[in-house]
Chain A
């Protein structure tokens, strides 16, 4: 049998090549220069991620290309998510540095694994074929299991990693079974061919529907949507706080990229089938995530539940997508980027406090503003952002999601979402009150952590600045969805 060579466009995969080189260079440094100390590893990682970002931005100027036998699509959509996850990875490197030093954890593996996971997110966002999508999702997930268990000496970390791993592998298998049936019924793994088959409908419809349900369930695990969310609080609480900061924003972005691409480009013909399912899931996710967050006494676990709630808001946007209402998808993209700054920052401040000998329970928040004004103010900004307060990026993110629901004629869903976010404000305000109005209870040590301060400052500035200048970001998201 003659197998023709596929067309190969190396420039389209250049971000991936740059990240592979970065991870390899990191590992090679330990082999050839094992005595290297200081800030070499974070700086090499940051340099590699910056080069990758350069390639991503260079690709933005290009027309969309489909290459590698139609398995890879480099367009504005993949570059949008590329920018999002690279920002998350760079900020994660900045805030992780001091934690790794204080606990004398092996730095090189940490950064290499972080870069691999980020590469997986870029693959998920660029995949145009079920096979590539599966590989991307796995390349994103497997390193995060390792990162969750990175504090080997702490049992919570081990236990969180175990639960995350078992449920993550389980969900990947469900996703794969859905992909298998999609391939079997439609005869192809390419998104464009699946789309043209699904548009015809006919006798195969029930089988495609089953396959779609399995794939939505598998990706639902990754984005932490109810009823597939049970791993989230345990994994987020057990993982080192700097890791939670990274994976709560980046894995969500990568999995949403896959979900948006799959539903809007491979299965747009089945919109009437997946929309009601997503509406039900989004309502449950918003309700259960936010209500459970109110009952928490540990801020880290509270933010884990709030992250489930935010998944619910994003799913509302995706459920409202249609060819005439692209705001549905672009609001999800906007939310994913806004969430990077707010949530990574919030977990980052918690990590900052832990490095200073503080804890993450509600009592530890008492009087943080009086004790450390900059940290208290930053955490205040992030919590206001997550709440959706005006002048932060959280408000436009929520408004666009609800606006897409109104445009799709589901005003009731927008009203429901608004009411739930008003209820959610309760638990953010409770922490805010403790930050600013209570007497300080615990003393804080003061190790030097310049990179972490820089990272948190960037997050806080972005939360406020993009809260005012959100129009260019939305334009970028709109172009990404339209490409």
Chain B
């Protein structure tokens, strides 16, 4: 007996909300980035749950692509973070202010 669909969806919504709040309130670049990953994985949980509920493979299919995209994004994102940290010894977004006017 597996738990009903709603449980998975509530879990996924909670994960997604934690991710959104993390992006909005935290100032550390890596934590913000982790929060984005959390949002993507919240989507994955919901996709698998929906796929199981609908008895279709599309959901799991989608998850494979999402994981791939997340990996590509992480590679590029960490590269950008590294380039910036070399110039200025900080990972705090509130100190990235030279473009503000």
Contact = CB atoms under 8 A, between A and B. Distances in A.
Interface of A: 3, 130-131, 134-135, 138, 142, 145-146, 149, 152, 155-156, 158-163, 165-166, 169-170, 172-174, 176-177, 179-181, 183-184, 187-189, 233-234, 237-238, 296, 298, 301
Contacts of B87: 155, 158
Interface of B: 9, 16, 19, 23, 29, 32-33, 36, 39-40, 42-43, 46-47, 49-50, 53-54, 56-59, 61-62, 65-66, 69, 72-73, 76-77, 79-81, 83-84, 87-88, 93, 96, 98-101
A57 to B, nearest CB: 30
A301 B101 contact: yes
A238 B101 CA distance: 13
B96 A159 contact: yes
Q: Which 6 A-B pairs have the closest CB atoms?
A: A184-B50, A173-B39, A158-B84, A234-B99, A169-B36, A176-B43
A397 to B, nearest CB: 29
B52 to A, nearest CB: 11
Given A3-B57, A177-B42, A187-B56, 12 more contacts: A146-B80, A156-B99, A158-B84, A159-B98, A163-B96, A169-B77, A170-B39, A173-B39, A184-B47, A184-B53, A187-B54, A189-B62
A162 B46 contact: no
A163 B97 CA distance: 11
Contact of B72 (A3, A138, A162, A301): A138
A173 B12 CA distance: 13
B84 A138 contact: no
B101 A180 contact: no
A162 B80 contact: yes
A134 B29 contact: no
B7 to A, nearest CB: 14
A72 to B, nearest CB: 14
Given A142-B72, A180-B47, A183-B59, A165 B77 contact: yes
A166 B16 CA distance: 16
B98 A165 contact: no
A155 B73 CA distance: 21
A158 B98 CA distance: 11
Nearest to B32: A166
A349 to B, nearest CB: 22
Contacts of B46: 177, 180-181, 184
A436 B73 CA distance: 45
Contacts of A146: 76, 79-80
Nearest to A164: B80
A156 B98 contact: yes
A183 B96 contact: no
A187 B43 CA distance: 15
B43 A180 contact: yes
Nearest to A142: B76
A157 to B, nearest CB: 9
B77 A145 contact: yes
Contacts of A180: 43, 46-47, 50, 62
B59 to A, nearest CB: 7
Contacts of A172: 69, 73
Nearest to A132: B65
A161 B58 contact: no
A13 B80 CA distance: 32
24 contacts: A131-B58, A134-B66, A135-B65, A142-B72, A142-B76, A155-B88, A156-B98, A158-B80, A161-B83, A162-B96, A163-B93, A163-B99, A166-B36, A166-B77, A169-B73, A174-B39, A177-B39, A177-B46, A179-B62, A189-B58, A234-B99, A238-B99, A296-B101, A301-B101
Contact of A169 (B33, B56, B88, B101): B33
Contacts of A161: 80, 83-84
